[in-house]
Amino acid sequence: MDDSTKLAFGTKIKTMLGNELIVARWLAEGGQGDIYIIKYNEQFMALKWYKPKGLGKDPQAFYDNLKNNAKHGAPSEEFLWPLDVTEWMNGSFGYVMELRPPGYSELSDFMLTEVRFPSFRKITDAALHIVSAYRILHNQGYSYQDLNDGNFFINPNTGKVLICDNDNVAPNGMETGIAGKPRYMAPEIVLGKNMPNSLSDRFSMSVILFILFCLNHPLEGKKSLVPCLSPELQEKLYGSEATFIMDPSNRENGPHPEIHKNTTVVWPYLPDYMQDLFLTAFSQKALHNPNARPSELEWLKKLVRFRSEIVPCECGNEIFTENGKNCNCERCREKMQVPYRIRFRDYAIPGIADSRIYRCQLGICNTDEALKPVGHVIAKKSDKRALGLKNLSNQVWSVELASGKTRKVAPQEIMPLRDGMSVHLYNEVIKIEANE
Amino acid sequence: MNMPTTDILGGTPRRALNIFYVLDTSGSMDGIPVATLNRAMEETIEILKEQAKTNADALLKIAVLEFNSDCRWLQAAGPEEAEDFMWQEVKAGGLTEMGAALTELNSKLSRNAFLSSMTGAYLPIIIFMSDGYATSDYKPALDKIRKNKWFARAIKIGFAMSDDADIKMLAEVVGNSEAVVKTNDWELFARLIQFSSVTASMLASTSRTCTEPVTGADIIKEAIDSGEATEDILIDEHVEYDPEPEVEIDSGDWEEEDWD
């Protein structure tokens, strides 16, 4: 390969923030450029250095947009965001970002099952981080534009996510010239009707979410097993005739029993509200009308609920508890004791040790607070069977007891869980119900 | 209800992506050319192997057809998965029977032969290399293979090596003179066959600026744009050959049998 665009060890480059970086070593090559490890402000960081030909039709506009993004700062900690942009050198430039910390794998490694999540709860955590990050990005007026499976680094053991390739992020509505990656582009982009925006991001994000859970592309069922994916067929399968693999009204693209086994295995385990959300996201209406796609907040609410309802049995098995009821573990045959149900307006989650109440489960909230735990169920140190709910919010809760008495629970205080309690917080009421 | 454990799931289904190399190993290739060809192919395959390991978009498969007085598949059983592929040294000798090579290729570009895949497939990629003129008439074989849908739609690239190569023949075979590289620099060949193979194999994984399909000519243009080669490699006269003069294509709704 041609080495003329490579940076030599020790090369010094000035940045827009008035710093100087020193190239330490070459790390990897991508389509648009190379990644280097650099010394920046006495720290080791990563530098993405573009190939001059990787800068698109309008390199100056690309550069200016990148500078604006760096000045704006990362929308949330999930983004491996451009922190500083270099000055031009030899017809190109680059940007500085954090190095990927250890323990994170590319989404493609999960798709190839080189890496696996230890549990569905961790998959849900990863999904929550992804949705939350895009919610914040979109609510700040940006679109990501080139959302695909290559953008994510995920830690399978924590579910934490890092989103890379943020160089096409631009104010929503601004065209950066990128259309996207085949199979991840929204139908309207495939069909050339529009350029990427935050609504097409929503489609691509739903594709990623379905892949996370089902290890299958949502539009790839029997109909997609074409002998040869010609450009015309590609346009049909991912554009004009796109059909969800689980679409109940059109089974033409349903799962092949062998090839799409992952989907047939996982789908029945997804609770109704998760199935419904995927069915909405990939309904004919949402495929062809970008405005009909579920919002990030809708995803967050359902995912948070799903996460709460997956509880680990002592034997290591994961159990899906519906509406916080008791259930049996099929592996160890033991009854899974769920002492309480924590009931929200339209559903309940299990009240067991480590259950959490998130801010987005309680009425309207600020974008950056959605995934903040406001309540955490904890067991008493001296008696593990005695459960309490810790107030992690910054509000004083008002708790109505079964007797009719009212008590106040200050931030960081713990209230015991008892049948018949009603907790008033954020203009909502949650009820504590004992299971039989 | 118990959730399934995550280890019962297999990898995400991937479509097959077949890369065919049709390589001239006639007598004129003896010496440096065939030695360079062996090294270039070995290195290209090493890189493809590395990429195949992390490619969640396509299951990369490779097949090599060498031709001289006769032709021979290096993998008799059909395209092999890149991860298991091992380059076998080729030797030079004999004539340049391009017609025989096209006939053999045509017989294997079928779902009943080399192109069966349960998970479906992407458009195949076919890379030709020749350093001379065909010894006998290749036109009848070319006319036949042009009617093969797989061939007609494949992403095709040609390498006309040495000043003695029949540039026109290669342009006719790949269907577009802009998809042909002419050079007598074997080091450049090594770089470009690597570049073209890697670029073509990553097409399904690369973000694009438009939704237009990519052709062999686009890949050669990209090689020039990215500084891998200069415009000298292009043929002066631009000719496009209708891949299927008598058959209407592009309808997008071919019958299943069309792909057999």
Return the DSSP state at A321.
-
Which of A173-182, A364-373, A422-431 is the most confident on average? A422-431
Q: Does B236 touch chain A (CB under 8 A)?
A: no
Residue A119 confidence (pLDDT) above 80: yes
Domain that holds residue A85: 12-97
Contact A179 B111 (CB under 8 A): no
Residues 164-223 of chain B whose Cβ lies under 8 A from any Cβ of chain A: 191, 194-195, 202-211, 213
State the amino acid at position B84 in one-letter form: D
Q: What does the pLDDT average to over A282-291? A: 98
User: Shortest CB distance from A180 goes to which of B8, B194, B208?
Assistant: B208
Local confidence band at B246 (pLDDT 50, 70, 90 cut-offs): very low
Closest-CA distance of chain A to residue B167, Å: 25
Residue A146: its chain B contacts at CB < 8 A?
A: 207
CB of A359 closer than 8 Å to CB of A372? yes
Angle at B63 (CA atoms; ends B57, B69), nearest 5 degrees: 160
Q: Are the beta carbons of B259 and A261 separated by less than 8 Å?
A: no
> Of A93-107, A294-308, B237-251, which gets the smallest average pLDDT?
B237-251
Q: Token pair of A174, please?
A: 């601004």
The verdict on A83 and A111 lying in the same domain is no
Asked if the structure places residue A282 within a domain, the reply is: yes
Q: Is the per-residue pLDDT at B254 higher than 80?
A: no
Q: Would you say how long chain A is, in residues?
A: 436
Judge: B1–A322 Cβ closer than 8 Å, yes or no: yes
pTM: 0.91
- Asked whether the beta carbons of residue B54 and residue A317 sit closer than 8 angstroms, the reply is no
Domains: count for chain A:
3
Nearest-by-Cβ selection for B9 from A109, A180, A215:
A215
Distance from C-alpha of A304 to C-alpha of A182, rounded to nearest angstrom: 30
In the structure, what pLDDT confidence band is assigned to residue A241 with cuts at 50, 70 and 90? very high
Confidence of residue A144 (pLDDT cuts 50, 70, 90): very high
Residues of A in contact with B83 (CB under 8 A): none
Say whether B211 and A226 touch across the interface (CB within 8 A).
no
Residue of B nearest to A333 (CA): B2
Examine the domain organization and report whether A115 and A92 are in the same domain: no
Name, in order, each residue with C-beta under 8 angstroms of A183's C-beta and a sequence gap of 6 or more: A207, A217, A219, A238, B57, B204
Instruction: Using the structure block, give the residue that is written with the tokens 């974008």.
Output: A367
Could you tell me where the DSSP H helices lie in B57-185? Answer: 98-108, 139-146, 149-153, 167-174
Count the neighbouring beta carbons within 10 Å of the beta carbon of residue A382. 6
Q: At which of A298, A313, A341 does a domain end?
A: A298
Report CA-CA distances (Å) from A430 to A290, A320, A363, B118, B196: 34, 21, 12, 51, 61
Are A255 and A158 contained in the same domain? Answer: yes
Q: How far is A144 from chain B (nearest CA, A)?
A: 13
Same domain, A93 and A124: no
B13 touches chain A (CB under 8 A): yes
**C-beta of residue B59 within 8 angstroms of C-beta of residue B78:** no
Provide the pLDDT for residue A175.
84
State which residue of chain A sits closest to B215, comparing Cα positions. Answer: A231
Contact B120 A226 (CB under 8 A): yes
Residue A132's SS3 state is helix
Which two three-digit tokens encode residue A100?
């990927």
The mean of the pLDDT values for chain A is: 93
pLDDT classification of A220: cutoffs 50, 70, 90: very high
pLDDT digits (tens, 9 = 90+) for A45-61: 999 999 877 777 788 99
A368 and A248 share one domain: no
Token pair 């990629």 in the structure block, residue: B125
Tokens of B53: 């390991």
Which residues from A are below 8 Å from B190, CB to CB? none
Q: Which residues of chain A neighbour B54 with C-beta distances below 8 Å?
A: 106, 108-109, 112
Report chain A residues whose CB lies below 8 A from the CB of B6. Answer: 116-120, 123
What CATH number belongs to B13-259? 3.40.50.410
- Chain A residue at shortest CA distance from B225: A53
Average pLDDT over residues A422-429: 94
pLDDT confidence band for B242 (50 / 70 / 90): low
Instruction: Answer whether residue B259 shows pLDDT above 60.
Output: no
Q: Does a structural domain hold residue A37?
A: yes
Where residue A46 sits, what CATH number does that domain have? 3.30.200.20
Q: What is the pLDDT of residue B260?
A: 61
A205 and A256 in contact (C-beta within 8 Å)?
no
For A209, the token pair is: 């979410």
Position B9 scores a pLDDT of 93
Token readout for A393 is: 């919010």
Q: Give the span between the Cα atoms of A240 and A284, in whole angstroms.
A: 10
Does the pLDDT value for residue B178 go beyond 50? yes
In the chain, the amino acid numbered B77 is A
Confidence label for A143 from pLDDT (cuts 50, 70 and 90):
very high
Cβ-in-10-Å burial (0-12, 13-18, 19+) of A133 comes to buried
B2, B12, B209 ranked by CB distance to A216: nearest: B12
Confirm or reject contact between B255 and chain A (CB < 8 A): no
Tell me how close the Cα of B236 comes to any Cα of chain A, in angstroms. 24
pLDDT the model gives residue A367? 79
A312 or B174, greater pLDDT: B174
Residues 91-130 of B with CB under 8 A from A: 111, 115, 117-124
Residue A309 lies in a domain: no
Contact A269/B1 with Cβ under 8 angstroms?
A: yes
Q: How far from each other are the two terminal CA atoms of chain A, in whole angstroms?
A: 69
Name the pairing type of β-strands A387-391 and A414-416.
Answer: antiparallel
- What percentage of residues in chain B have a pLDDT greater than 90? 73
Report in angstroms the alpha-carbon separations of B65 from A394, B86, B157.
71, 14, 15
Looking at the structure, tell me whether residues A349 and A406 fall in a common domain.
yes
Say how far apart CA B204 and CA B51 lie, in whole Å: 12
Cβ atoms < 10 Å from Cβ of A29? 12
Buried b (16+ CB within 10 A) or exposed e, A237-251: bbbebbbbbbbeeee
Q: What is the CA radius of gyration of chain B?
A: 18
Q: What local confidence, expressed as pLDDT, does residue A365 receive?
A: 84
Sketch the domain layout of chain B as residue ranges. 13-259
A399 and A383 assigned to the same domain: yes
pLDDT recorded at residue B230? 87
Q: Is there a single domain that holds both residue A429 and residue A350?
A: yes
Q: Do A28 and A72 fall into the same domain?
A: yes
* Same domain? A243 vs A287: yes
Per DSSP, which regions of A217-370 are E strands?
A: 310-312, 318-320, 327-328, 335-336, 340-343, 348-351, 356-358
CATH number at residue A292: 1.10.510.10
CA terminus-to-terminus distance, chain B: 46
Residue A2 inside a domain? The answer is: no
d(CA A360, CA A62): 36
Confidence (pLDDT) at B252: 45
Fill in the amino acid letter for A63.
Answer: Y
B54 contacts A5? CB cut-off 8 A: no
Q: Identify which of B117, B119, B210 has the shortest CB distance to residue A179.
A: B210
**Mutation to test the A interface, candidates B211, B226, B244, most A Cβ within 10 Å:** B211
> HSE on the CB side for B182, CA within 13 Å?
17
pLDDT digits (tens, 9 = 90+) for B95-132: 999 999 999 999 999 988 999 899 999 999 999 999 99
Over 70: is that where the pLDDT of A2 sits? no
Q: Is residue A308 part of a domain?
A: no
Residues A81 and A118 in one domain: no
**A402 belongs to a structural domain:** yes
- The ipTM (two decimal places) reads 0.87
Which of A204-207's residues contact partners 24+ apart within 8 Å by CB, and which partners? A204/A147, A204/A148, A204/A180, A205/A130, A205/A131, A205/A134, A205/A147, A205/A296, A205/A299, A206/A278, A206/A281, A206/A282, A206/A293, A206/A294, A206/A299, A207/A183
- For chain B, give the mean pLDDT: 89
For A50, the 3-state DSSP assignment is strand
Q: Are residues A38 and A72 in the same domain?
A: yes
Beta-carbon pairs below 8 A across chains A and B = 165
